[in-house]
Structure 1
Amino acid sequence: MHTEPDWITTPLTADLLRGALDVERTEHGLFPHRLPARARAQNTDAQLAMAEAQPSGVRLAFRTAATAVELDILRTKRDYSGFPPRPDGQYDLLVDGRPAGQAPANGGNVLTIDLATWSGTVTDGPVGTVRFTDLPAREKDVEIWLPHNETTELVALRTDAPVQPAPDRGRRVWLHHGSSISHGTDAASPTGVWPAVAALQGGVELINLGLGGSAMLDPFTARAMRDTPADLISVKMGINIVNQDVMRRRAFGPALHGFLDTIREGHPDTPLLLVSPIHCAIHETTPGPTAPDLSAVGEGRLLFSAMGDPAEIPTGKLTLGVVREEMARIVHQRAAEDPHLHYLDGLDLYGETDAAELPLPDRVHPDAATHRRIGERFAERAFTGKGPFAEPARPGD
């Protein structure tokens, strides 16, 4: 006969969270944010507001002897009008740093987005529960990674043994900023997002500022990075600048310089890695903007097409090829005064050959297998050997 554990309810507080830059108290509970309040106050874009509130890389981290854990949450799932429902977000369980389970949530709200207008309507739903059982009956570090693609309010944490915040294991903190590819669009689970794959292989604590549709060289994001303690920093830039057609070559270079300058105000000597875009065939030689392919929408498929005119490149329109050229030039220009600034060509993470083997399903975003490949390649190039994030050699090594 199954009996319920004697549950202990632990108050949800910020010291149980990692990967969030801010937390908000709501009528339901604890709401993690990936941008601080000051940055959010300067933003007027609904896409960025939604992206920063989706907790990619955010996880509960605690130490306990519990064998059962329940987490009550109120999620907001995103669907698209006229398309089948998107898969439910997953909660990944790690025990002592190793995968130990996965579960979806139930209940919650649904945000339905109309691709024709990019407007959304919310259908309210109930609080749901995620449950993990049969954990090892010993003291252990437990992490529950929240869904990277669902806004999540944390309502209650129950365990069958006491909980305390996870101790500081002395791991280096990696602060990363990028687009929806870094955020995790089309990744299968929160630890399957490529920065999470790389962080777990590199043995570092991740703060993921991958913001879907919003890697725009925003000054408030640069200031948030400047003010966030970190041992390692990376910026993956380019695809959103191109696919939303937000600036020309004249503006891109100075804006990137300014973004890097702001980060350096708070982190003058921290290893800083600038990563250019991965291969995206529709924008390699064709400028933005990007728009949904209406012929595919009629078939219930979400595909994107490049709407720009290559003839405008000489007048300053940006393609991914132009962006990579500018990024490499800027790193080379700054190298003399900033020996801790490094450059990684995104084509080394996912290039044309990879695209032939693992094509981007919607022509822009990697699938789960490609996220893993990108993460593993980043870990190899950044965290090992002479990579910019490799552990410094210690005397006697």
Structure 2
Amino acid sequence: MPDRTDDHPGGHPTARTPDWTTTPLTPELLRGALDLERTRHGLLPHRLPARARAQCADAQLAMAEAQPSGVRLAFRTRATAVELEALRTKNAYAGAPPRPDGVYDLLVDSRLAGQASVTGGNVRMTDMTTGSVETRPGPVGTVRFAGLADRLKDVEIWLPHNEITELVALHTDAPVEPLPDTGRARWLHHGSSVSQGSDAASPSTTWPALAAGLGGVELTNLGLGGSALLDPFTARALRDTPADLISVKIGINLVNTDLMRLRAFGPAVHGFLDTIREGHPTAPLLVVSPVLCPIHEDVPGPSAPDFRGLSEGRLRFQALGDPAERAAGKLTLGVIREELARIVAQRAADDPNLHHLDGRELYGEADFAELPLPDQLHPDAATHRRIGERFAALAFGPGGAFA
């Protein structure tokens, strides 16, 4: 039967035979999202539930939780070609070169089998010198994977971890069905932009995604860039999400936002853990302190961007606090690590399934000498791989919290 070329709303014609299947996008096809919002275009995955989103009007949080880190379409099919129509919202910064396009990872039977990006989409332009944000609308695009083996297989399409993505339509040249439950343990993780993926190469190579693959578990990633702030609504989201294993990585955002002092920090950690335990009283719960970040080891926040290299595409961050302010209770990463170790040791006397991991075991001084943080805050792709492999060994390996 001859191919038919359909006009595509993104402006890119797509050749399909008439017997292609369009499968409704339903919750059964998606993993890693806590909420799905119907929009005029399609389906927008969220990583915080609507009730939580309603309790905070912060634009940074709204952007981060709608970027689908760890969210993937998962289905079984004989299809040799798959097309996903999506509307992206891409971040851009005034005066800086364009950022790389978000990547879609195609996994076939748990192995990376292709990568692609969509065109078109909205652009969220931020002027970092004034804080103003303007969203410029654009068209829907299509990501296409072809040449797949003509056999029954398990397919996952991991959505970009750093682009808001509205799912519009799924087209395949053979029917699809949701993946059955694998029976693997469900790992729920919360952290900062480092956990969301920061400068990882792709969504399946963020450090939590890599660790989940090595550990043989199903990941739900609540890494929220700039927003790991011990918010009660985040604790309630963790409490109410089904999970067999839980980890919370606490620290860097509290320092670089200069959000609270030591007096508030300890009770806030206790309250955060108390809330999680309301829903998961006996699940292994791992508290992870910050990885090494030299600018904030002994210097309080806030941190701020240094714009001097922005026009060349180089953005670096600097610490603006004064080390002397620690005496007044301002937080540094060193202070936070000591307090987290103390809190976990205190609570573990009554909670044998509570564990602690010093983040410097994932990325420490020797690692920084070899793989420095390019912008002084965020790890690059190679460092994500190292952290993921280290976490898998320390948490999922013999003697680990998740063993």
Task: Confirm or deny a common fold (TM above 0.5).
Answer: yes
Identity value in percent: 73
Q: Which residue does 2:185 correspond to in 1?
A: 172
Structure 1 distance, partners of 2:290, 2:256, is 12
Equivalent of residue 199 in structure 1, options 189, 194, 212: 212
The residue number in structure 1 matching 2:26 is 13
Distance change >3 Å, CA 300–CA 136, structure 1 → 2: closer
Q: What secondary structure, in the 3-state scheme, does the structure 1 residue paired with 2:265 have?
A: helix
Ranges in structure 1 where 5+ consecutive residues have no aligned partner: 391-397
Per-residue Cα deviation, 1:331-357 (whole angstroms, up to 9, x for no partner): 001011100000000000000110010
Alignment of 1:23-38 (within 5 A): 23-38=36-51
Whole-Å Cα distance in 2 between the matches of residues 99 and 252 of structure 1? 41
Q: Which residue in the other structure is 2:389 paired with?
A: 376
Q: Which of residues 293, 296, 303 in structure 2 aligns to 1:290?
A: 303
Paired letter, 2:286: L
User: Is 294-303 or 200-209 further displaced after alignment?
Assistant: 294-303
1:342 and 2:355 correspond: yes
Query: Which has the larger displacement, 281-290 or 4-13?
Result: 4-13
Aligned counterparts of 1:129 and 1:82: Cα–Cα separation in 2: 28
**Which of the residues 284, 296, 313 maps onto 1:271?**
284
In the TM superposition, what whole-angstrom CA distance separates every residue of 1:163-207 from its partner, at most 9, and x where no partner exists?
111110101100000000001111110011110010011111100
Structure 1 partner of 2:12? none
Aligned to 1:364: 377
Q: 2:319 aligns with which of 277, 296, 306?
A: 306
SS of equivalent residue, structure 1 residue 347: helix
Give the structure 2 partner of residue 254 of structure 1: 267
Paired position in structure 1 for 2:106:
93
Paired residue for 1:210?
223
For the residue of structure 2 that corresponds to 1:339, the secondary structure is: coil
Residue 326 of structure 1 is matched in structure 2 by: 339
Q: Give the secondary structure class of the aligned counterpart of 1:343.
A: strand
Per-residue deviation, 1:7: 1.4
**1:264-295 CA distances to partner (integer Å, 9 max, x unpaired)?**
00000000000000000100010000001133
Q: How many residues align?
A: 390
Distance 1:103 1:335 in 2: 45
CA distance in 2, matches of 1:50, 1:217: 18
Which whole-Å deviations, capped at 9, do the CAs of 1:196-247 have from their partners, x for residues lacking one?
0100111111000000000000000000000001000000010000000000
Deviation for aligned residue 1:300? 4.3
Corresponding residue of 2:7 = none
Secondary structure at the residue paired with 1:288?
A: coil
- Look up the match of 1:122: 135
- Measure the CA separation in 1 of the matches of 2:237 and 2:126: 29
RMSD (Å), alpha carbons: 1.2
Contact 2:97 2:312 in 1 (8 A): no
Deviation at 1:36, TM superposition (A): 0.3
Distance 1:123 1:155 in 2: 19
Amino acid at match of 1:144: I
Q: Which amino acid aligns with 1:110?
A: V
Secondary structure of the residue aligned to 1:39 is: helix
Structure 1 residue 351 and structure 2 residue 364: aligned? yes
Deviation, structure 1 residue 314: 1.1
The match for 1:147 among 160, 184, 197 is 160
Q: Which moved further from structure 2: 104-113 or 225-234? A: 104-113
Could you tell me how far 1:80 is from its partner in structure 2? 1.0
CA offset at residue 135 of structure 1?
1.0
One of 219, 225, 246 as aligned partner of 1:233: 246
CA distance in 2: counterparts of 1:162 and 1:346, whole angstroms: 45
- The residue type paired with residue 276 of structure 1 is S
Q: Tell me the TM-score normalised to structure 2 length.
A: 0.95
Give SS of 1:355's match: helix
Question: Helix, strand or coil: the match of 1:235?
Answer: strand
Query: What's the secondary structure of 2:60's corresponding residue?
Result: helix
Name the counterpart of 1:80.
Answer: 93
The residue correspondences of 1:127-142 to structure 2 (distance < 5 A) are 127-142=140-155
1:120 is displaced (CA, Å) by 1.1
Q: Does 1:63 align with 2:66?
A: no
Instruction: Supply the distance in 2 between the matched residues of 1:161 and 1:295 (Cα, whole angstroms).
Output: 52
Q: Deviations over 1:33-65 (max 9, x none)?
A: 000010000011000000000000000000111
Indicate the residue corresponding to 1:393 in structure 2: none
TM-score by length of 1: 0.97
**AA partner of residue 297 (structure 2):** E
In the other structure, the counterpart of 1:109 is 122
